[in-house]
């Protein structure tokens, strides 16, 4: 087989994987919106975040579990709380909504973690402040 055929097959696999991820994300956003309306919550940022992908074998079949998280607040408080959506092979498996797990944006921000770490700066960085 030629290199062009391998390239086309590879691109087709990438496209279908990307489409599957986007379809599951849109489904998770819809579930988060509906569950927020059902429980009288405000969905913050109108989005979900993929937290984990797990592959398990159940009944000799490969099963994909995707865990999405979303932030919400209640009508009585301004705190951000975190909820989770578990999707099993493209279908809703579980929704976890708890008023006990607060979402801490500062700890999850990658930039703030870089400044909080006690690591020394790299050798190729010149500090002009000193």
pTM of the model: 0.72
Closest CA to 67 of 56, 82, 55, 51: 51
CATH code for the structural domain at 3-116: 3.10.450
- Confidence (pLDDT) at 115: 46
- Residues 93-117 as b/e (b if ≥16 CB within 10 A, e otherwise) read eebebeeeeebeeeeeeeeeeeeee
Closest CA to 24 of 70, 97, 87: 87
- Confidence (pLDDT) at 76: 81
Task: Provide the residue-wise pLDDT of the chain in tens; the chain has 130 residues.
Answer: 689 999 999 999 999 999 999 999 999 999 999 998 998 888 888 889 999 999 999 899 999 999 999 999 887 877 888 899 999 988 999 898 877 767 665 555 444 444 445 555 555 555 566 5
Sign of CA dihedral 12, 47, 36, 103: positive
- Confidence (pLDDT) at 33: 93
CA distance 39 to 59: 35
């Amino acid at each position: 087989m030629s290199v062009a055929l391998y390239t086309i097959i590879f691109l087709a696999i990438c496209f279908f994987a990307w489409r599957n991820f986007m379809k599951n994300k849109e489904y998770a956003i819809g579930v988060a919106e509906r569950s927020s309306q059902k429980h009288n919550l405000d969905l913050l940022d109108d989005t979900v975040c993929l937290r984990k992908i797990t592959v398990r074998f159940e009944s000799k079949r490969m099963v994909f579990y995707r865990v999405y998280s979303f932030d919400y607040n209640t009508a009585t408080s301004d705190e951000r709380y975190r909820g989770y959506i578990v999707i099993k092979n493209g279908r809703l498996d579980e929704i976890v909504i708890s008023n006990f797990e607060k979402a801490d944006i500062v700890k999850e921000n990658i930039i703030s973690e870089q400044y909080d770490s006690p690591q020394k700066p790299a050798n190729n960085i010149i500090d002009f402040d000193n």
